[in-house]
Structures are given as structure tokens and as C-alpha cells.
């Protein structure tokens, strides 16, 4: 059964298996997501790879009626699913876009935050995705990546190196490498000295063999 799950885990995640996307994952809880992403009323966010909307429906209300959440996916079925749930919940501030995350169809500096939870590893050339995310972030904006161990998991050490190359520096990380949330900002957005990152207290003892 484990082998069937591993070998059947294709990218992008198939819509036919969408039920699994609504299962909360250890270390990637809503509370941890809020603490790292820090959504505020009036902000504009971009979610890459929203799946069926587990994160979307949690984040969008926190942006308030003056805010906006753009959701971007390569699969129209996923976007339709998210929008159906958003309409059901009365969320009029969620806007879908079908596109490739390696070429984001947005102007420079559009978003206060960009986030992707268990999605980055499913996209070919994640380095290009990170560069695009950095481009569309407003000055002082933040990028949050959440990863959970599966066939497409990106170990934290690799993500950190890719982010450095994309001009992003780590400001916070929570969780061990198999299940973590990490926040980055464009280099120069904060005071010098942040390049090494500010690890959450509970994670300071974490060691990544891949780093």
C-alpha cells in the first residue's frame, strides 16, 4: 500500500484524489500557518497551488473585505473547486487564475505575500518559481513555503539554497525538515544581519542532513 501511494503520487496532484488534500498535516497547522504568514486586513496575497482550498478558505477571511486573495493553479478543476467553496462561504475576495507558476502573470511588486503549501515540489524548476515570487512581492513583502514529506518534498536545506539564489533571505522557520513552514523576504527588505534567518525557538535544535 505504501509503495502504491508513493508511486501513484504524481504531479500536479490529480483532481481525482482531491479528498486527501483536505486532511490537515502535522506541523502545517492553521495556527502555525497564521504565525508564519501573518495575514492582515487589506493585504493582497497570492496562493500558488491552492488544491481544493484548505488554506485559501482559512486565509481569505483574514484579509477582510478590502483585501484580496489570488489563487493560481495549472489545473482548472482545482480552481473551480476552490471557487465553488469560496462562493459557498460567501468569500467574494478570492480571484482565480489558471497559469504556470514559473511565469506569473502579474506585475512586479503586486503582492504583500505569496505562499505555497505542499505545492512547490510539484512544479518543475522550483528555482524559477521562487524568482517569480520574489519579483511579484511588494517591497517588504514575504514568501511562505510549506513542505511535507512525500515524493515531491523539497528538503529545507535545498529550499534555503534555492531561496538564496533567488534573492530571498530566511526570516523564520517552524517544524523539522520533513514538515516545515519557512518565511522569506527579498534581500534588502529588512535590516542587515538577517541572512542566517530567525528560527523558531522550538526548532533551533533541528538538523538537516541535506544542508
Convert the pLDDT of each residue in 119-150 to its tens digit: 999 899 999 999 999 999 999 999 999 999 88
Question: What pLDDT digit, counting tens, does each position of 15-59 carry?
Answer: 445 555 566 667 789 999 999 999 999 999 999 999 889 899 999
**Counting beta carbons within 10 angstroms of the beta carbon of residue 37, is it exposed (0 to 12), middle (13 to 18) or buried (19 or more)?**
buried
Residue 85: per-residue pLDDT: 95
Question: What pLDDT digit, counting tens, does each position of 91-102 carry?
Answer: 999 999 999 999
Nine-digit cell string for 45: 496575497
Distance CA 150, CA 147 (A): 9
Q: What is the DSSP letter of 199?
A: B
CA pseudo-torsion sign 210, 155, 34, 126 = positive
Backbone angles phi, psi at 2, to 5 degrees: -65, -40
Q: Do 80 and 108 form a contact (C-beta atoms < 8 A)?
A: no
User: What is the distance, to the nearest Å, from the Cα of residue 135 to the centroid of all Cα atoms in its chain?
Assistant: 15
Distance CA 138, CA 50 (A): 21
Beta strands in the chain (DSSP E): 44-48, 68-73, 94-98, 111-117, 137-148, 168-174, 179-186
- For the CA atoms of 37, 40, 41, 42, what is the dihedral angle to 10 degrees? -80
Question: What pLDDT digit, counting tens, does each position of 54-84 carry?
Answer: 899 999 999 999 999 999 999 999 999 999 9
Distance CA 10, CA 19 (A): 15
Residue 2: per-residue pLDDT: 41
Residue 44: per-residue pLDDT: 98
Asked if the model's pLDDT at residue 165 lies above 90, the reply is: yes
Q: What is the mean pLDDT of the chain?
A: 84
Q: Closest Cα partner for 73 from 107, 105, 43?
A: 105
Q: Do 54 and 21 form a contact (C-beta atoms < 8 A)?
A: yes
Q: What is the DSSP letter of 17?
A: G
Residue 107: per-residue pLDDT: 98
CA pseudo-torsion sign 40, 44, 46, 50 = positive
Asked if the model's pLDDT at residue 196 lies above 70, the reply is: no
Amino acid at each position: 500500500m505504501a509503495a502504491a501511494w508513493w508511486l501513484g503520487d504524481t504531479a500536479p496532484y490529480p483532481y481525482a484524489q482531491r479528498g486527501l488534500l483536505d486532511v490537515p498535516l502535522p506541523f502545517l497547522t492553521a495556527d502555525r500557518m497564521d504565525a508564519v504568514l501573518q495575514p492582515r486586513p487589506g493585504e493582497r496575497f497570492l496562493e500558488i497551488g491552492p488544491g481544493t482550498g484548505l488554506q485559501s478558505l482559512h486565509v481569505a477571511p483574514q484579509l477582510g473585505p478590502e483585501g484580496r486573495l489570488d489563487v493560481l493553479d495549472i489545473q482548472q478543476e482545482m480552481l473551480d473547486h476552490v471557487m465553488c467553496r469560496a462562493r459557498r462561504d460567501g468569500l467574494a475576495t478570492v480571484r482565480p487564475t489558471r497559469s504556470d507558476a514559473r511565469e506569473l502573470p502579474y506585475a512586479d511588486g503586486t503582492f504583500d505575500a505569496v505562499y505555497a503549501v505542499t505545492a512547490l515540489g510539484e512544479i518543475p524548476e522550483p528555482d524559477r518559481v521562487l524568482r517569480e515570487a520574489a519579483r511579484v512581492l511588494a517591497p517588504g513583502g514575504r514568501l511562505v513555503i510549506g513542505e511535507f514529506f512525500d515524493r515531491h518534498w523539497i528538503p529545507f536545506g535545498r529550499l534555503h539554497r534555492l531561496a538564496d539564489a533567488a534573492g530571498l533571505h530566511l526570516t523564520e522557520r517552524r517544524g523539522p525538515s520533513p514538515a516545515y513552514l519557512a518565511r522569506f523576504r527579498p534581500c534588502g527588505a529588512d535590516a542587515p544581519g538577517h541572512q542566517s534567518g530567525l528560527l523558531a525557538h522550538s526548532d533551533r535544535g533541528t538538523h538537516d542532513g541535506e544542508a
